[in-house]
């Protein structure tokens, strides 16, 4: 059975599932070069079919991670109530137009596929959005039994769910409904702090480490929390998500928190403290929810998904402060992952057993191996051949160089995991400033991630959970912080990626060679892109990023280009 999974939400994507295995997965933004692309994922579908080596006629079923006719009444009624209370008719109407356009595309998905690709009208199956999130995490996890929590802005009408995953069966136990959303809460403050909502939440998380949660009580006082059902209610007098998208905020909100930061304005202590406060409040609520779920289920494992699960500091604190022993977060917990989750759920529904995924490393995108040499020849650039590129890269890194690393199939999810990466030594401390300023061209407070050999991670980090998808920001051991200052954030944490040979042999051997040369099993890894751009996809993207930044060397697999030769 071949299943085409689709998402046309904040991160449009497509997935091909063949007999329960992931054959291809792509995000639309990588092809349109527009971050968080929302359009129907035509480019992703084309590339997934090409990667899988099939035609649209080979697809048996289509799965979409949203039920377009579910929850409309709840959303409309809730929005009308909020509109009357907040007097935000124009803003709600504008947002509603986009919402119904998305629903229209989902309802007409079969026709859209037929008009673009021809062939038969494919049967389309709609999967509840949060169920797709849960399926993405649970079916990809190594667990047979686990609790799960999904948290995002909103699905059809749910904003969070809690439940269990037992031998392939998912059961929802609790839920929160729109408009009460931790994802929207965080996005309101993202906009207030001058960043782009539904995109800049990671910046707020990074900024939070520089502040103190002096506003946490004020924020918490605006949220009612029911300890019996673990339902949270945001005060509508203070929080208006739709208005915040336009950087407009209720008067009562401004009375409490002051004037919003203008984008580009210099950050001050108030901004840093507000970021720390909203981070603290969200952590506290999620940890209380997680504790409650553990007491109810008595399970050792938990899976997290939804856009809020990209908050790696929160994820680490769940590990540190709750009784769950193991945590799993997929590489694409945000809306990009619901295409995969919907396909996985549909496979289970039709076949009655867990999908048989052979390649769990989320390197499911396109590769361009047959174009490497011809591309470089077309650029008339001097290049050399590195017979052992991992060893050569380690040698350059041990000399303090910054490299672009382009090889194999592209990652699925928002984080570069070693196929489309910029890699640098984890010291000296100024390496962080150099890359932020000269390579990424982004804010100087933004942290970088360490990649570390899996077997060395428990000694270097105070708390440990296997983190192949860069999902947790654990504390670096006190004795190691001076050795890797460029990847240790101001709060002593680092968002680690643990690397083993089976999942990523190239990255594993690079780290192994670097460890032999320096005694340190850690390197700095950041996404191969510049500020405001998606991660590079093809050779042209990588070339443009390399040429227009101060990356010292570019590896295109075994082909090595020195920036000095450009």
For residue range 284-317, list pLDDT tens digits in order: 999 999 999 999 999 999 999 999 999 999 999 9
Q: How many CA atoms lie within 13 A of 374 on its CB side?
A: 4
Answer whether 395's CB lies under 8 Å from 319's CB. Answer: no
Phi, psi of 148 (to 5 degrees): -145, 150
- Reading across the β-sheet that carries 124-126, which strands appear in turn? 21-27, 13-18, 2-7, 61-64, 124-126
Cite the DSSP H helix spans in 5-60. Answer: 29-32, 42-52
pLDDT at 79 over 70: no
Q: Exposed (0-12), middle (13-18) or buried (19+): which is 561, by Cβ within 10 Å? A: buried
Answer whether 482's CB lies under 8 Å from 526's CB. Answer: no
Q: What is the mean pLDDT of residues 528-538?
A: 97
471-474: Cβ within 8 A, 24+ apart = 471/309, 471/312, 471/315, 471/327, 471/329, 471/495, 472/312, 472/315, 472/316, 472/319, 472/327, 472/329, 472/496, 473/312, 473/313, 473/315, 473/316, 474/316, 474/319, 474/320
Closest alpha carbon to 21 in 249, 343, 257, 248: 343
Minimum mean pLDDT range among 106-115, 270-279, 402-411 = 106-115
Computed over every residue of the chain, the mean pLDDT equals 94
Q: For position 80, what pLDDT does the model report?
A: 60
Q: How many angstroms separate the CA atoms of 304 and 315, rounded?
A: 8
Element of type H or E holding 478: none
Answer whether 324's CB lies under 8 Å from 147's CB. Answer: yes
Answer whether 552's CB lies under 8 Å from 434's CB. Answer: no
Instruction: Count Cβ atoms below 10 Å from residue 325 Cβ, excluding itself.
Output: 11
Q: Which residues are bridge partners to 494 per DSSP? A: 474
Phi, psi of 513 (to 5 degrees): -65, -40
Q: How many angstroms separate the CA atoms of 404 and 421, rounded?
A: 6
pLDDT at 369 over 70: yes
Any residues with CB less than 8 A from the CB of 28 and at least 6 apart, and which?
A: 11, 12, 13, 14, 37, 39, 41, 42, 43, 44
Q: For position 97, what pLDDT does the model report?
A: 58
Q: What is the mean pLDDT of residues 140-151?
A: 98
Q: How many angstroms separate the CA atoms of 431 and 509, rounded?
A: 23
pLDDT at 99 over 90: no
Q: How many angstroms separate the CA atoms of 316 and 308, rounded?
A: 13
Peptide bond connecting 428 to the previous residue in cis, omega within 30 degrees of 0: yes
**Cα angle for residues 530, 533, 536 (degrees, 5° grid):** 80
Give the three-state DSSP class for 303.
strand
Q: For position 84, what pLDDT does the model report?
A: 52
Q: How many angstroms separate the CA atoms of 387 and 404, rounded?
A: 17
Phi, psi of 209 (to 5 degrees): -65, -20
pLDDT at 455 over 70: yes
Q: What is the tens place of the pLDDT at every residue in 331-357?
A: 999 999 999 999 999 999 999 999 999
pLDDT at 74 over 70: no
Q: How many angstroms separate the CA atoms of 518 and 238, rounded?
A: 53
Any residues with CB less than 8 A from the CB of 330 and at least 6 apart, and which?
A: 136, 137, 140, 141, 305, 337, 340, 362, 413, 469
What is the greatest pairwise CA distance in the chain? 68
Q: For position 560, what pLDDT does the model report?
A: 98
Confidence of residue 72 (pLDDT cuts 50, 70, 90): low
Q: What is the tens place of the pLDDT at every residue in 238-288?
A: 998 988 998 999 999 999 999 999 999 999 999 999 999 999 999 999 999
Tokens of 493: 């944490």
Q: What is the tens place of the pLDDT at every residue in 464-475?
A: 999 999 999 999
Higher pLDDT, 93 or 152: 152
Distances (CA, A) of 501 to 137, 327, 364, 478: 22, 21, 18, 28
Q: How many angstroms separate the CA atoms of 402 and 434, rounded?
A: 10
Answer whether 456's CB lies under 8 Å from 516's CB. Answer: no
Tokens of 220: 């918490």
Answer whether 468's CB lies under 8 Å from 452's CB. Answer: no
Confidence of residue 70 (pLDDT cuts 50, 70, 90): confident
Percentage of the chain surpassing pLDDT 70? Answer: 95
Sign for the CA dihedral angle at 259, 261, 263, 264 comes to: positive
Q: How many angstroms separate the CA atoms of 50 and 531, rounded?
A: 30
Minimum mean pLDDT range among 14-23, 121-130, 243-252, 482-491 = 243-252
pLDDT at 73 over 70: no
Distances (CA, A) of 428 to 30, 490, 520: 32, 15, 13
Give the three-state DSSP class for 284.
helix
pTM over cut 0.85: yes
DSSP string covering 353-388, please?
A: S----S--SS--S---GGGHHHHHHHTT---EE-SS
pLDDT at 96 over 60: no
Answer whether 468's CB lies under 8 Å from 361's CB. Answer: yes
Q: What is the mean pLDDT of residues 138-158?
A: 97
pLDDT at 88 over 60: no
pLDDT at 211 over 80: yes
Q: How many angstroms separate the CA atoms of 280 and 277, rounded?
A: 5
Confidence of residue 493 (pLDDT cuts 50, 70, 90): very high
Higher pLDDT, 222 or 91: 222
Q: How many angstroms separate the CA atoms of 346 and 355, rounded?
A: 10
pLDDT at 186 over 80: yes
Q: For position 83, what pLDDT does the model report?
A: 57
């Amino acid at each position: 059975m071949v299943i085409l999974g689709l998402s046309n939400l904040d991160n449009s994507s497509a997935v091909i599932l063949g007999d329960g295995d992931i054959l291809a997965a792509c995000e639309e933004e990588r092809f349109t070069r527009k971050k968080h692309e929302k359009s129907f994922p035509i480019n992703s579908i084309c590339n997934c079919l090409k990667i899988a080596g099939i035609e649209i006629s080979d697809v048996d079923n289509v799965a979409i991670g949203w039920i377009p006719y579910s929850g409309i009444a709840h959303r409309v009624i809730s929005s009308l109530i909020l509109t009357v209370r907040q007097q935000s008719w124009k803003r709600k109407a504008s947002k509603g137009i986009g919402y119904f356009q998305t629903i229209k595309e989902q309802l007409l998905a079969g026709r859209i596929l037929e008009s673009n690709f021809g062939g038969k009208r494919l049967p389309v199956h709609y999967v509840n959005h949060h169920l797709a999130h849960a399926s993405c995490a649970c079916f990809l996890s190594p667990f047979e039994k686990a609790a799960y929590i999904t948290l995002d802005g909103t699905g059809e009408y749910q904003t969070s769910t809690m439940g269990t995953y037992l031998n392939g069966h998912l059961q929802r136990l609790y839920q929160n409904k729109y408009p009460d959303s931790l994802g929207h809460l965080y996005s309101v403050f993202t906009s207030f702090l001058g960043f782009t909502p539904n995109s800049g939440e990671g910046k707020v998380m990074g900024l939070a480490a520089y502040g103190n949660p002096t506003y946490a009580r004020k924020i918490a006082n605006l949220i009612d929390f029911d300890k019996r059902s673990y339902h949270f209610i945001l005060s509508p007098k203070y929080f208006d998500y739709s208005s915040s998208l336009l950087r407009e905020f209720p008067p009562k909100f401004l009375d409490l928190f002051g004037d919003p930061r203008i984008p580009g304005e210099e950050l001050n202590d108030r901004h840093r403290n507000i970021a720390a406060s909203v981070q603290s409040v969200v952590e506290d609520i999620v940890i209380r929810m997680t504790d409650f779920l553990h007491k109810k289920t008595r399970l050792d494992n938990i899976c997290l998904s939804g856009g809020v699960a990209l908050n790696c500091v929160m994820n680490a604190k769940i590990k540190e402060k709750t009784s769950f022993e193991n945590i799993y977060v997929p590489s694409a917990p945000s809306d990009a992952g619901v295409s995969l989750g919907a396909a996985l759920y549909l496979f289970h529904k039709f076949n009655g057993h867990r999908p048989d995924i052979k390649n769990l490393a989320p390197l499911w995108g396109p590769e361009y191996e047959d174009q490497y040499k011809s591309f470089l020849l077309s650029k008339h650039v001097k290049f050399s051949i590195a017979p052992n590129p991992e060893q050569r890269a380690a040698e350059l890194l041990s000399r303090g160089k910054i490299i672009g690393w382009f090889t194999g199939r592209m990652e699925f999810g928002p984080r570069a995991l070693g196929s489309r990466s910029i890699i640098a030594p984890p010291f000296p401390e100024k390496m962080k400033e150099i890359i932020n300023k000269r390579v990424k061209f982004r804010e100087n407070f933004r942290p970088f991630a360490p990649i570390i050999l899996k077997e060395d991670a428990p000694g270097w980090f105070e708390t440990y959970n296997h983190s192949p998808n860069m999902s947790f920001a654990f504390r670096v051991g006190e004795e190691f912080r001076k050795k890797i200052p460029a990847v240790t954030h101001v709060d002593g944490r680092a968002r680690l990626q643990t690397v083993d040979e089976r999942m990523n042999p190239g990255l594993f051997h690079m780290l192994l060679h670097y460890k032999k040369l320096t005694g340190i099993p850690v390197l700095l890894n950041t996404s191969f892109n510049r500020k405001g751009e998606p991660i590079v996809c093809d050779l042209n993207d990588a070339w443009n990023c390399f040429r227009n930044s101060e990356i010292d060397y570019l590896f295109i697999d075994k082909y090595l280009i020195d920036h000095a030769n450009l």
